[in-house]
Amino acid sequence: MPSSVANAANNTDPGRLVLGIESSCDESAAAVVADGRRVLSSVIASQIKDHAPFGGVVPELASRRHLENLAPTVMAALSEAGVTLDDITGVAVTQGPGLIGALLIGLNLAKALAWSRELPLVGVSHLEGHLAALSLAQEPPPYPFMALLVSGGHTSIFLVRAPGEQQELGSTVDDAAGEAFDKVAKLYGLGYPGGIIIDRMAAAGDPSVIQLPRPRMHDGTLDFSFSGLKSAVVRFREANQGEDYRMEDLCAGFQEAVVEVLVKKTLAAAQERGVGHLALAGGVAANQRLRAAMAEAAAREGLGVTLPPLALCTDNAAMIAAAGCHHLRAGRRMPLEADAISRLPKGGALPAEALA
Ligand code: KG4
Ligand code: ZN
């Protein structure tokens, strides 16, 4: 077959080689993924150092850094994958949720690339991206599975029936789990981002020394609440000023309270729906205690469990390309006039009118 014919045949599959772009928060990320499965490159320009002095992400600073870093990150992703824009068959970009200015930078870059190369373009829900990251694991979870998506912005339980087919069964009514980690770390001046720091300190602590509440543990729903737990830590700190207690024990006590509720509700969701496999997604899925507790619970109840490698847990663009591959193949497209969606309606999927 002449190569021009072979290329024409391949070009009918927009998911064959997808360029993913992610800029919803503080990571400028780009990736090239083949067939929604094989990660050829995944490049992340982290802004952690820029935001650390402020103890949290400063939205305008994030936008400016994306403006500087995102285009070079895309170039690096192409070059690391050993491909050029001529080889790319589709573009997937995070359309929301996230910081509006940050999202706009990624969206506009993706539109420009797709328009100039006449490539199919699709907008992806960041949450769906985190779930799609699981399909990039060496051993992806079998469908259906119950996913706990825990990040700095979200804490939800999703029943995932098939690629791109997920139902949110419960979510946080206030703070996200990662946000609670970050706020407690900030309260004590431990550093930023707080999740990983608390994770490390907790490993040297005893979770039974400082008992904290387990919010909504027995309320019979699949929803979460973490702002009360954070307030309990604030009250504990005030009540114990000048007292001698180990920071490691406080971290362990706090972390145990978060993990216990997360694991109990994920397990309850799987049992209610008769689902035999659990999975973790999102930045907090990097937490060592959460991983261990989820694995223990799954083993105890005879369920399977997928604990993705850390690089797939935190924000990246390979997960956006993977989710985008599915939507591109299903024929979904984002029009060039599409807007970024800072907050998604309940359910975690992009509203139908955001896609053509
Ligand atoms: O998914 P992600 O990279 O970004 C969002 O979409 O939010 O998640 C970032 C969040 C932050 O709140 C961070 O503190 C938390 O994940 N995190 C952790 C750990 N590593 C990251 N939380 C607990 N333990 C960790 N090891
Ligand atoms: Zn995320």
pLDDT at position 192: 86
CA 181 to centroid of ligand 2, rounded, Å: 15
Percent of the chain topping pLDDT 90 = 85
The pLDDT, as a whole number, for residue 3 is 42
Mean pLDDT of the chain: 93
For a substitution probing ligand 1, which of 28, 44, 94, 151 has the most ligand atoms within 8 Å of its CB? 151
Q: Give the pLDDT of residue 239.
A: 96
pLDDT digits (tens, 9 = 90+) for 173-193: 999 999 999 999 999 999 988
pLDDT > 70? residue 252: yes
Q: Which tokens is 256 given?
A: 């145990």
* 248 burial via Cβ count (<10 Å: 0-12, 13-18, 19+): middle
Domain with CATH 3.30.420.40 in the chain: 17-132+315-354, 140-308
> What local confidence, expressed as pLDDT, does residue 347 receive?
66
Q: How far is the CA of 81 from the centre of ligand 2 (A)?
A: 23
Fold of 17-132+315-354: Nucleotidyltransferase; domain 5 (3.30.420)
- Ligand 1, closest atom to CA 27? 3
Residue bearing the CA closest to ligand 1, atom 1: 283
pLDDT at 242 over 60: yes
Give 116-144 pLDDT, tens digit per residue: 999 999 999 999 999 999 999 999 999 99
Assign 1 a pLDDT band (cuts: 50, 70, 90): very low
Going by pLDDT thresholds of 50, 70 and 90, the confidence category of residue 352 is low
The CATH code of the domain at 140-308 is 3.30.420.40
Residue 356: the pLDDT is: 42
Q: What is the pLDDT of residues 207-226, one digit of tens each?
A: 999 999 998 888 899 999 99
| CA 36 – ligand 1 centroid, Å | 24
CB 105 within 8 A of CB 63: yes
Which amino acid residue places its CA nearest to atom 16 of ligand 1? 283
Residues 27-76 pLDDT 10s: 999 999 999 999 999 999 999 899 988 888 899 999 999 999 999 999 99
